């Protein structure tokens, strides 16, 4: 019986020693790792704060991107508008250059027929011509006395000129801006005169 008690005491002492050793180890682990856990929690809290700050920054940058995209869209619209204006201005410039260099033209009459009595003058054109230039008049008729005449008053200039073209001929007259009268006539004594006239305005 005493031997059993002795063994029980030994087991108790052994368990007590193991408990003390384990307790010391646990205390050592706690002493060693608790500050680390606290430090890790602090770092985790700082990282969470950094993530929150970065999310705020990202949100701000996304807002800036939207604003920049809006600005870019407006700039593209302005560029498109300016390109349209440039095209319009270029068309106007090209048109004026064409007028200045007398590269534009248009028919005032194109193959119009006429018939008149002997020694008669008739009006073929009375029209406002906007630009300086000249007119060419081509006539085919049955009379050698057929003539064409241009009359206008413009910019202090009084113009009245007559050119005989005969049965088949042409004449050219300078034009200043204003109302221009173009006549066709003949100097026949008896015969009726008929023919075809074309008037081209070059400006």
**Whole-angstrom distance, CA of residue 127 vs CA of residue 122:** 15
Quote the strand ranges of the chain, DSSP E.
105-116, 121-129, 133-141, 147-154, 157-164, 168-175, 178-185, 193-202
Question: Is pTM beyond 0.75 here?
Answer: no
**Whole-angstrom distance, CA of residue 120 vs CA of residue 30:** 132
pLDDT at 66: 85
Model pLDDT for residues 1-27, shown as the tens digit of each residue: 566 666 677 777 777 788 888 778 877
Mean pLDDT of the chain: 87
Domain definitions of the chain by residue range: 1-101, 105-202
Sheet with 193-202: list strands edge to edge. 105-116, 193-202, 133-141, 168-175
pLDDT at 197 over 70: yes
Domain 105-202, CATH: 2.60.120.660
pLDDT at 146: 98
Model pLDDT for residues 53-109, shown as the tens digit of each residue: 777 888 887 778 787 777 777 766 666 665 666 668 888 898 889 888 999 999 999
The number of beta carbons lying within 10 Å of the beta carbon of residue 143 is 22
- Angle among Cα 119, 123, 124 to the nearest 5 degrees reads 115
Report which DSSP code applies to 120: -
């Amino acid at each position: 019986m005493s031997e059993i008690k002795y063994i029980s005491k030994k087991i108790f002492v052994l368990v007590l020693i193991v408990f003390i050793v384990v307790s010391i180890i646990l205390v050592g682990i706690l002493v060693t790792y608790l500050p680390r856990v606290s430090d890790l929690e602090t770092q985790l809290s700082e990282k969470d704060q950094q993530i929150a700050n970065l999310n705020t920054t990202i949100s701000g940058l996304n807002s800036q991107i939207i604003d920049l995209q809006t600005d870019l869209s407006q700039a593209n619209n302005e560029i498109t508008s300016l390109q349209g204006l440039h095209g319009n201005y270029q068309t106007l410039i090209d048109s004026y250059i064409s007028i200045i260099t007398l590269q534009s033209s248009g028919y005032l009459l194109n193959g119009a027929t006429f018939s008149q009595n002997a020694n008669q003058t008739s009006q073929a054109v009375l029209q406002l011509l906007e630009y300086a230039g000249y007119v060419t008049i081509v006539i085919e008729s049955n009379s050698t006395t057929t003539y064409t005449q241009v009359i206008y008053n413009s910019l202090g200039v009084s113009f009245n000129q007559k050119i005989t073209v005969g049965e088949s001929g042409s004449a050219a007259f300078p034009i200043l801006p204003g109302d221009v009268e173009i006549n066709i006539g003949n100097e026949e004594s008896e015969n009726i005169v008929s023919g075809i006239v074309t008037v081209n305005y070059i400006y």
